């Protein structure tokens, strides 16, 4: 089967800019660095280490961690222990220098500003230099070398795919790289593991990484914070004027009156208090409660009317808070939402330099989940508008069916196009909101890994990343899994029109036009083939987990659709789901067991009728 991901209308331009390669028949390194390779280095020969790892005499905790991880994975590759020494020892011909050692004389890359997370790889004679920025830079340099030059992978959880070579020879590509996105958040439950995040160079707030290893992006308050910063149960009774005036002329605790001086004072005081109590905080959100609504008092309405958007009165408050924050916490960013009625940017009012506008794709991906956001005029204009007036934008994108987390979701090309569009328009952070409550959403392992790579370097080729994961993670079963992914993409292409604006948008039902019986039968046959190809229990479990979306659609379609095999499909789904610790089907409280019982009742009822 062809390996390129087929696309629906609107992706032709994207595909035209990428080379279309032939089908893969074995794993290839989709992350291989570009550029002219340096000298050939032989790190080990026949299981004996030829190099030592050098760190500064007073190494930072990040430099120490980088060295320890490099030694760990080099041993896994070669079977030998690489010594770690301090730079106070005499120089040797064959060294791997990590961080700010005294070996950096005449190394041009050492003079470059790598910022917080950038890295450089340099070669001089037989020495290899791994340099990094102020925070996670040295660790990022190590994992860039391991992934990109040496082909190591950490696709899922704590698993590792490490090539074995007792003699390790390679030509590292000298390079300098600084990520564009300061926030890289594949918001899937499977991406919240701090170890996975460190290795894959994400920094999501939900993925805890120790501060001594560079940490992650620390939110002290994360969106929809009005009720926290000015609690209605504490203030509404005595001060209804602190809250929004509705069209009915009544005050409502749904939102705040953001131009009220006392509201500004209280929100500012509480913001500063939260920051004082959380010394590692990097971002604090001052943002409206979910559900919409805006204050129509004379001051708020006049400001919004003058600026042509309900974002104006919100930004008035946010700028005031940000001004106070900057004086006491100059490195902290104040974040707010461009969401629902606040998506449109103001005409003249401008965010302060320490304000981040988190622009949400609710006006495009929610109703058109298979279409790149750039092609939806409302979002395109908002993105272009905000980027024209501000250089600190973060994105909240939506990429999963929130009513059916396991549903087949052929939207990877749209999400890849989105990330590139965001970055091209001043985005400094991206969150792809997927199945954040439970594992086993459709392709969640693949998606988290692919999104991590695109957020680190948006120029990466989507199709190559997908194939890298498939052939690396599924081993002998990869040919059938690759066929299934091509089948899903082809099915989406064949239903282009219905997928432009699917019924219920991103929450499309399981009888959507593209989920045909022919597709489900073909997909089931390919997963049967994949299970037969899997040559270990581990690979078989990988395949079974990946099959969940097809089993799920069959169960949703019911006994009448599936026939006599419905009970077996249900038993299999339940076994896999519980083994993989799945808990959620729908966004909200845990509902897997309730769903299973409903399916079981329907099946039992069918069996009773037949008797």
Nearest alpha carbon to residue 200 among 528, 467, 450: 450
**DSSP string spanning 484-497?**
HHHHHHHHHHHTHH
Residues 6+ apart with CB under 8 A from 548: 406, 440, 442, 573, 576, 577, 580, 582
Residue 13 has pLDDT above 80, yes or no: no
Confidence (pLDDT) at 158: 87
What is the rounded average pLDDT of the residues 482-509?
A: 97
Nearest alpha carbon to residue 274 among 220, 346, 328, 337: 220
What is the rounded average pLDDT of the residues 164-169?
A: 97
Confidence (pLDDT) at 351: 98
Confidence (pLDDT) at 289: 97
Nearest alpha carbon to residue 492 among 409, 406, 374: 409
CA distance 481 to 529: 9
Residue 1 has pLDDT above 90, yes or no: no
What totals of helices (H) and strands (E) does the chain contain, helices first?
A: 21, 18
Cα torsion angle, 370, 403, 189, 535, sign: negative
Confidence (pLDDT) at 6: 25
| Residue whose structure tokens are 């790579």 | 453
What is the rounded average pLDDT of the residues 34-45?
A: 93
- Strand, helix or coil for residue 465: helix
- Strand, helix or coil for residue 275: helix
CA distance 482 to 471: 8
Per-chain mean pLDDT for the chain: 95
Order of strands across the sheet that contains 95-98: 84-86, 52-55, 95-98, 127-132, 119-124, 175-177
CA distance 180 to 456: 8
Residue 16 has pLDDT above 90, yes or no: no
Architecture of domain 37-173: 2-Layer Sandwich (3.30)
Instruction: Parse the chain into domains and list their residue ranges.
Output: 37-173, 218-358, 476-610
Q: What are 284-335's pLDDT values in tens digits?
A: 999 999 999 999 999 999 999 999 999 999 999 999 999 999 999 999 999 9
**DSSP string spanning 53-88?**
EEE-TT--HHHHHHHHHHHHHHHHHHS-PPPEEETT
Band (pLDDT 50/70/90 cuts) for residue 5 is very low
User: Which pTM was predicted?
Assistant: 0.94
CA distance 32 to 30: 6
């Amino acid at each position: 089967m062809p390996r390129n991901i087929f696309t629906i209308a609107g992706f032709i331009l994207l595909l035209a800019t990428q080379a279309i390669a032939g089908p893969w028949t074995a794993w290839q390194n989709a992350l291989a660095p570009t550029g002219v390779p340096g000298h050939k280095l032989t790190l080990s020969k026949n299981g004996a280490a030829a190099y030592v790892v050098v760190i500064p005499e007073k190494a930072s905790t990040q430099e120490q961690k980088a060295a320890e991880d490099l030694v760990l994975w080099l041993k896994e590759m070669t079977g030998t222990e690489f010594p770690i020494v301090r730079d106070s020892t005499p120089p040797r011909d064959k060294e791997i220098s990590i961080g700010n050692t005294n070996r950096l004389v005449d190394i041009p890359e050492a003079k470059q500003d790598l910022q917080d997370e950038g890295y450089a790889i340099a070669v001089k004679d037989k020495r290899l230099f791994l340099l990094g920025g102020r925070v996670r830079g040295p660790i990022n340099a190590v994992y860039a070398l391991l992934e990109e030059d040496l082909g190591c992978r950490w696709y899922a959880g704590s698993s590792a795919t490490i090539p074995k070579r007792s003699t390790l020879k390679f030509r590292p590509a000298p390079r300098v790289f600084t990520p564009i996105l300061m926030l890289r958040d594949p918001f899937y439950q499977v991406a919240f593991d701090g170890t996975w995040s460190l290795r894959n160079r994400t920094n999501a707030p939900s993925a805890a990484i120790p501060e001594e290893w560079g940490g992650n992006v620390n939110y002290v308050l994360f969106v929809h914070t009005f009720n926290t910063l000015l609690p209605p149960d504490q203030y509404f009774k005595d001060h209804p004027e602190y809250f929004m005036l509705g069209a009915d002329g009544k005050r409502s605790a749904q939102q705040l009156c953001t131009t009220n001086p006392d509201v500004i004072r209280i929100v500012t005081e509480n913001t500063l208090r939260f920051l004082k109590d959380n010394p590692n905080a990097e971002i604090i959100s001052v943002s409206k409660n979910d559900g919409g609504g805006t204050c129509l008092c004379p001051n708020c309405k006049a400001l919004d009317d003058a600026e042509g958007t309900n974002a104006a009165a919100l930004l008035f408050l946010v700028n005031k808070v940000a001004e106070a924050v900057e004086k006491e916490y100059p490195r902290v960013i104040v974040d707010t939402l461009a969401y629902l009625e606040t998506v449109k940017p103001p005409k003249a009012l401008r965010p302060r330099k320490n304000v981040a506008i988190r622009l949400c794709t609710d006006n495009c991906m929610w109703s058109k989940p298979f279409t790149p956001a750039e092609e939806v005029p409302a979002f395109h204009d908002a993105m272009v508008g905000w980027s024209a007036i501000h250089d600190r934008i973060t994105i909240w994108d939506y990429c999963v069916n929130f009513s059916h987390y396991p549903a087949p979701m052929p939207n990877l090309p749209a999400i890849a196009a989105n990330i590139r569009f965001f970055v091209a328009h001043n985005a400094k952070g991206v969150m792809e909101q997927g199945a954040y409550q439970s594992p086993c959403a459709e392709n969640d392992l693949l998606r988290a890994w692919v999104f991590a790579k695109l957020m680190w370097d948006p120029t990466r080729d989507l199709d190559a990343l997908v194939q890298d994961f498939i052939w690396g993670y599924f081993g002998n079963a990869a040919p059938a899994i690759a066929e299934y992914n091509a089948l899903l993409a082809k099915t989406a292409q064949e239903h282009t029109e219905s997928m432009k604006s699917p019924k219920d948008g991103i929450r499309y039902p399981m009888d959507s036009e593209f989920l045909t019986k022919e597709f489900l039968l073909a997909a089931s046959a390919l997963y049967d083939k994949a299970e037969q190809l899997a040559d270990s229990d581990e690979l078989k479990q990988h395949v079974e987990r990946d099959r969940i979306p097809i089993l799920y659609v069959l169960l949703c379609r019911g006994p009448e659709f599936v026939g006599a095999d419905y009970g077996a499909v249900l038993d299999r789904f339940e076994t896999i789901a519980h083994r993989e610790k799945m808990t959620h089907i729908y966004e909200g409280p845990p509902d897997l067991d309730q769903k299973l019982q409903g399916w079981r009742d329907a099946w039992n009822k069918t069996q009773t009728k037949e008797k």
